[in-house]
A = this chain, B = another copy of it.
């Protein structure tokens, strides 16, 4: 019926150590002015009783809630999830976030929000009111969603925008998309490829443009034209199939494709297989994301590893460190790396 063992409160500790609540609170929060002798005594009591402050009570009195909220798009996440496609952003955010949060005594909560319509304000607003998080982490494409950023700014909730380098409220972080695309493209050029196509993401994502820029720049570095070598997808498998077919139809001499997501890359892999093209012998493939699925395809794909977890981790740290005034103009950039597996090889007929 009633709780068997009532939770240990600060009062119990105070009684046990023979001091006031306030002193215990100071010790717990690392307050500056406590005699070492008393501090040790209080610490011993805390240890003995197994006292851990109640998050709820801390939130009630102090200003902090020790909660960082990660926002994800509900529709997209649920679709990916129910169709067993993998929900990498959510996973990476959760795990990257949890680790860094717990290092600072914080917790991470994941919230799925319908960011499509004007439900945003209602849903995100409700989450914020209920949780009163100390910070919010936004991922593309929500990082640049005016409705969201303005809501957060209006409520004075510190937030990080991943995948955005635009000025404005919040802390901007990027994952070096331009550089990563440049790196991947350069690597292919180095392998002798000259006809290198790009299956990019949808245009409402800034990172789509950055990746296209990086690809174009690498080609330009070597005076290679990019005409007819660009297709847009929506990161999903089907769009990858369509894009790969169009690219291959239009460019019979194509020897390499860079896809802006693992799903699209795997789709391209299947299109190639259907057409009797061997990857990597006839066609090299590089994908973006490096989620678990590309490790087990045949062949395993060379991929740009999106450092989502690390970026989220950085975001969490910034949010915690800065507290209230969290706006920043300097973009934090976490570099992406190229993980070479077996879907890339020298261009056919190249040295």
- Chain A residues engaging chain B, CB cutoff 8 angstroms: 1-5, 7-8, 50-57, 59-60, 65, 77-78, 81, 84-87, 90-91, 94-95, 98-99, 102, 107, 109-110, 112, 125-126, 129-132, 154-156, 266, 290-298, 309, 324-325
- A291-B84 in contact (CB<8A): yes
Alpha-carbon separation in the docked complex, A306 to B81 (Å): 14
Alpha-carbon separation in the docked complex, A87 to B132 (Å): 28
9 pairs of A and B residues whose beta carbons are closest in the complex: A298-B298, A52-B129, A86-B292, A56-B59, A56-B56, A4-B156, A3-B156, A52-B126, A293-B296
Given contacts A52-B126, A132-B7, A298-B297, contact A98 B112 (CB under 8 A): yes
CB within 8 A of A60: which of B5, B60, B78, B87?
Answer: B60
- B109-A95 in contact (CB<8A): no
- A84-B132 in contact (CB<8A): no
Alpha-carbon separation in the docked complex, A7 to B132 (Å): 9
Apart from A98-B110, A98-B112, 13 more pairs, CB < 8 Å: A1-B325, A4-B155, A5-B156, A50-B125, A52-B125, A52-B129, A52-B130, A55-B56, A56-B65, A77-B95, A81-B91, A84-B295, A107-B130
Given contacts A94-B90, A293-B295, A298-B297, contact A60 B50 (CB under 8 A): no
Residues of chain B contacted by A309 (CB below 8 angstroms): 81
Residues of chain B contacted by A155 (CB below 8 angstroms): 3-5, 7
Alpha-carbon separation in the docked complex, A109 to B4 (Å): 24
- A1-B324 in contact (CB<8A): yes
Residues of chain B contacted by A94 (CB below 8 angstroms): 90, 94, 110
Residues of chain B contacted by A131 (CB below 8 angstroms): 55, 107
Residues of chain B contacted by A50 (CB below 8 angstroms): 125, 129
Residues of chain B contacted by A130 (CB below 8 angstroms): 52-55, 107
- A60-B52 in contact (CB<8A): no
Alpha-carbon separation in the docked complex, A294 to B77 (Å): 19
With both beta carbons as reference points, the residue of chain B lying nearest to A52 in the complex is identified as B129
Residues of chain B contacted by A266 (CB below 8 angstroms): 296
Alpha-carbon separation in the docked complex, A109 to B298 (Å): 36
Alpha-carbon separation in the docked complex, A200 to B102 (Å): 35
Residues of chain B contacted by A297 (CB below 8 angstroms): 296-298
Given contacts A4-B155, A292-B292, A296-B296, contact A51 B129 (CB under 8 A): yes
With both beta carbons as reference points, the residue of chain B lying nearest to A96 in the complex is identified as B81
- B53-A8 in contact (CB<8A): no
Instruction: List, sorted by A's number, 8 A–B pairs whose CB atoms are closer than 8 Å.
Output: A4-B154, A7-B155, A56-B59, A56-B60, A81-B309, A86-B291, A109-B109, A293-B293
Residues of chain B contacted by A7 (CB below 8 angstroms): 129, 132, 155
In the assembled complex, how far is the CB of residue A15 from the closest CB belonging to chain B, in whole angstroms? 17
In the assembled complex, how far is the CB of residue A165 from the closest CB belonging to chain B, in whole angstroms? 25
Residues of chain B contacted by A99 (CB below 8 angstroms): 78, 112
Given contacts A56-B60, A129-B50, A296-B266, contact A290 B91 (CB under 8 A): no
Of A50, A57, A293, the most chain B CB neighbours within 10 A belong to A293
Alpha-carbon separation in the docked complex, A50 to B155 (Å): 13
